[in-house]
Amino acid sequence: MLKRQTVCLSLFIMCFGVALSAQVTPSEAAARYTNAHQPELTREFQEFLSIPNVAADPASLERNAYFLLNALRSRGVDSRLLRVAGAPPVVFGQILTQGAEHTIVFYAHYDGQPVTPSEWTIPPFDATVRKVDGEDRIFARSAGDDKAAIFAQLTALDALKASAIALRANIRFVWEGEEEAGSPHLEQILQTNRDLVHGDVWLVCDGPVDQSGKQTVVFGARGDTHLEITVYGPHHGLHSGHYGNWAPNPAMMLAQLLAGMKDQNGRVLIPHFYDGIAPLSAAEKQALAHAPVNDKMLMDAFWLGHTEGGGAHLLQLINEPSLNINGLSSAQTGPHAANVIPPTAIADIDLRLVVGIDWKVQQQRVIDYVRSRGYFVVDHDPSKQELTAHARVAKIICDPASYNAVRTPMELPMAKEVIAAVSSARGRVVLLPTMGGSVPLGAMERAAQTRTITVPIANYDDNQHAANENLRLQNLWDGIETMAALMDMR
């Protein structure tokens, strides 16, 4: 065996002497490249992160898009911006490979969650490197979610080129600018450019790896929808002494409304909330059974004294729909608190969905529950006539930028190839049926006539969606290896 290999290798060197470096695997090529260029790569990533990318600032989202367009063009990638009115563009790029039989699409997003700078220790767009537990991390909005994935893809291209590893499939990049706003225009943009964005598989590079730190491949994601509920007290703030325990207090009304939505174990009490859930397949159950159980480690990391779910593990609970309060507000707390009966109280509700539950149906279940608690429900600021005619009035604004959950069967041939590629780069891989966070996989699948498989690279503790978001730099270097291995797929 040894002799035969040596012969083959010699032959290979003789025939392809100029491409000697191609003997390295894609992930080795990536490791070699990043080891040689870490300082420059870190600076380039910082430059990318320093461009603000929140939905409230469309001009900066455009700057991100042009930054990426230039990044692709400078690498010789055929690229353009795909636009629809009123939305940040999708940055598109493609490398057509002669003789390729398959097309692999790499999806990521360049926009980030809103920021509240006062909550950040390090300004959200300063992209500062700090040591955490002896390891370098880079702090910035979207460091983990999701600019890291884009930067890893660009760098993987450079690494493959540096080692003269030729691509074997067609490669496409679809980098969205509206994911954190619920991707309201993605499906339209994809459908308008159906031929450009089609692929045998979409590799969705978003979200964190398993909390154990092991590279993860995820075969679906929860869907997501939101409702904003506003309940009403007096037309304007009233003195809480002169009118307290006579004028209804909307903060208390809201507390009572919300309190009835869940029991003490976090089980949602809204009627029919769990109806329709598609059960997991045998393979999915098996994957879950083999996945690390990180609950105790996470409780310690998050300083938690209990968890919801009556003892169920995180990975089990992620395969159920959820109801989460993202924010509450009524008048002021802290130094600005005043003795008032507030005029309104507001709750932002996040509903995560699993396969089998449609987002519109789930929204309606919440609305029906609010009605069942004696509320007259409106979808606009209520008039005086509406407020005085009903004991309790709630305005419910349903987010139209919502989408359903998706799961790709793990048994598909393409799924097995992706698992093999990732394993070649990163060793044993955690396989999960569902990611807790949401990605608009359904829109991608419908519009691009494809299947989606998610390959995240960020550390789980990246403060995604919160203040002081950060990426462990080692996750970036590892992620570049993973992306290089995926780009080498046939």
Measure the CA–CA gap between 261 and 4, rounded to whole angstroms. Answer: 68
Considering CB under 8 A, how many residues would be counted as binding its own copies?
Answer: 105
In the complex with its own copies, which residue's Cβ is closer, 251 or 430?
Answer: 251
Residue 410 DSSP symbol: T
Which pairing describes strands 393-398 and 223-232: parallel, antiparallel, or unpaired?
antiparallel
CB of 145 to its own copies, least distance (A): 8
DSSP-assigned letters across all residues of 108-170: EE--B----GGG-SS-TTS-EEEEETTEEEEESTTTTTTHHHHHHHHHHHHHHHHTTPPP-SE
194 vs 235 by CB, closer to its own copies? 235
* CA–CA gap between residue 154 and residue 479 (Å, rounded): 11
Q: How far is the CB of 474 from its own copies (least distance, A)?
A: 20
The angle that helices 473-487 and 147-162 make with each other, rounded to 10 degrees, is: 60
- Pseudo-torsion of CA 442, 446, 481, 460, nearest 10°? -10
* Residues 326-365 as x/- pattern, contact with its own copies by CB under 8 A: xxxxxxxxxxxxxxxxx--xxxx-x-x-------------
How remote is the C-alpha of 430 from its chain's centroid? Answer: 18
Identify which of residues 44 and 348 has a Cβ nearer to its own copies in the complex.
348
Tell me how far, at minimum, the Cβ of 277 lies from its own copies, in Å. 13
For 105, the token pair is 């699409």
Helix (H, G, I), strand (E, B) or coil at 396: strand
Interface residue with its own copies, options 79, 94, 103, 113 (CB under 8 A): 113
> Per rule CB under 8 A, is residue 236 in the interface with its own copies?
yes
Region binding its own copies by CB under 8 A among candidate stretches 164-172, 241-249, 445-453, 474-482: 241-249
Residue 292 as a binder of its own copies (CB under 8 A): the answer is no
Binding flags for its own copies, 6-25, as an x/- string (CB under 8 A): --------------------
Piece of the chain touching its own copies by CB under 8 A; list 34-42, 160-168, 362-370, 387-395:
387-395
Other Cβ atoms less than 10 A from the Cβ of 418: the count is 26
Q: Which stretch binds its own copies (CB under 8 A): 3-11, 24-32, 80-88, 430-438?
A: 430-438
Taking CB under 8 A as the binding criterion, the range among 130-138, 322-330, 412-420, 481-489 that sits at the site for its own copies is: 322-330
Which lies closer to its own copies via its Cβ, residue 69 or residue 231?
Answer: 231
Strands (E), 342-462: 344-353, 376-378, 393-398, 406-407, 430-432, 452-454
Closest distance of CB 75 from its own copies, Å: 32
Q: Which residues of 106-124 are buried (b: 16+ CB within 10 A; e: fewer)?
A: bbbbbbbbebeeeebebeb
* Contact between 60 and its own copies per CB under 8 A: no
Q: In the window 435-454, what residues touch its own copies (CB under 8 A)?
A: 435-438
Gyration radius of the chain's alpha carbons: 25
Q: In 23-134, where do the E strands start and end?
A: 78-82, 90-95, 103-109, 128-132
Nearer to its own copies, 76 or 117 (CB): 117
DSSP 222: -
Residue 209 touching its own copies (CB under 8 A):
no
Q: Compute the distance between CA of residue 215 and CA of residue 228 in angstroms, rounded to an integer.
A: 36
Q: Which of residues 116-175 bind its own copies (CB under 8 A)?
A: 116
Piece of 3-11, 24-32, 126-134, 319-327 that binds its own copies (CB under 8 A): 319-327
Closer to its own copies by CB, 156 or 444: give it: 444
Q: Please tell me the distance from the alpha carbon of residue 245 to that of residue 249, in angstroms, as a whole number.
A: 8
245 near its own copies, rule: CB under 8 A:
yes
Residue from 390, 398, 401, 414 binding its own copies (CB under 8 A): 390
Residue 325 touching its own copies (CB under 8 A) = yes
Q: Which CB atom, from 93 or from 208, has the smaller least distance to its own copies?
A: 208
Q: Verify binding: residue 235, its own copies, rule CB under 8 A.
A: yes
Nearest Cα residue to 481 out of 454, 452, 453, 457: 457
Nearer to its own copies, 77 or 221 (CB): 221
